[in-house]
Amino acid sequence: MTREEIIKPENLVYRRTPVLTDNVMHYCPGCGHGTIHRIIAEVIEEMGIQDKVIGISPVGCSVFAYNYFDVDFIEAAHGRAPACATAVKRLNPDKFVFTYQGDGDLAAIGTAETIHACNRGENITMIFVNNAIYGMTGGQMAPTTLLGMKTVTTPYGRTVEANGYPLRITDIIASLPGAYYVTRQAVFTPAHVRKCKKAIRQAFENQKLKKGVSFVEVVSNCNSNWKMPAVKANEWLEENMLPFYPLGDLKVPEK
């Protein structure tokens, strides 16, 4: 075999390792991010696509996601992950490209990038973690913050008069023609974890069809910024978040 033949990509052997690394996560104890990371890693391993995945993480709690996944990762500016993912997917159409974003990032700073990537129908997977607050930067009000919810920028609770209504960004995404699959899930019980994993698997599988964006919202907690123990935060999520952000599929492909 000549030197030129040896260095051809098809002659390279990819050695698979666990997708989820053994690096200690920076997430707060009780946070849903670790569970969601585990789900994504399991999906990638079960699909056998570790060498074909490219993740995009912006600024926010997910800023260090590249430390926890043994796949190719790109860091994007705050809110710009969908734009970055668009370029990556168009240049590498055979790769599985996904973004991992929080609500302050996807639904506030990156609203334009989110809306237009979904409206164009980019063939990517978007995973959106909604904990109704800016987590990494200190607990400020996000577009998803519920009415009456206290944050460092709404110490007396969010009001319509001062702050407007909470934004159901996923419902907006579902109305766009370029959105192929849109669902809202959670991970605060084992049953919800199983459903969420199934949805994320579907979102990755959909990229093979080249039909548009697959969008998975995961309603999660932020016990640190909510100022609650982890168990209490999960109870608060179920009692307050889910009535406003009900779980289930918002848009599924027609059979």
Domain ranges of the chain: 31-243
CATH of 31-243, one of 3.40.50.720, 3.40.1010.10, 3.40.50.970, 3.30.70.20: 3.40.50.970
Per-residue confidence (pLDDT) for residue 138, from 0 to 100: 87
Q: Helices H, strands E: what count in the chain?
A: 11, 7
**pTM as predicted:** 0.93
Residue 233: how many CA atoms within 13 Å on its side-chain side?
Answer: 21
Residue 90: strand pairing partners: none
DSSP string, 96-159: EEEEEEEHHIIIIITHHHHHHHHHHT-S-EEEEEE-SS-TTTTS---TTPPTT---SS-TT---
DSSP string, 165-194: PPP-HHHHHHTSTTEEEEEEEE-SSHHHHH
Q: What is the mean pLDDT of each run of 10 residues along the chain (255 residues)?
A: 57 73 94 96 97 95 93 96 98 98 95 98 98 91 97 96 98 98 98 98 98 98 94 97 98 86
DSSP 8-state symbol, 11: G
Residue 23: how many CA atoms within 13 Å on its side-chain side?
Answer: 14
Per-residue confidence (pLDDT) for residue 135, from 0 to 100: 87
Per-residue confidence (pLDDT) for residue 50, from 0 to 100: 97
Buried b / exposed e along 145-164 (16+ C-beta atoms within 10 A) = bbeebbbeebeeebeeeebe
DSSP 8-state symbol, 164: -
Per-residue confidence (pLDDT) for residue 88, from 0 to 100: 98
Calpha distance 114→19 (Å, rounded):
27
Per-residue confidence (pLDDT) for residue 128, from 0 to 100: 98
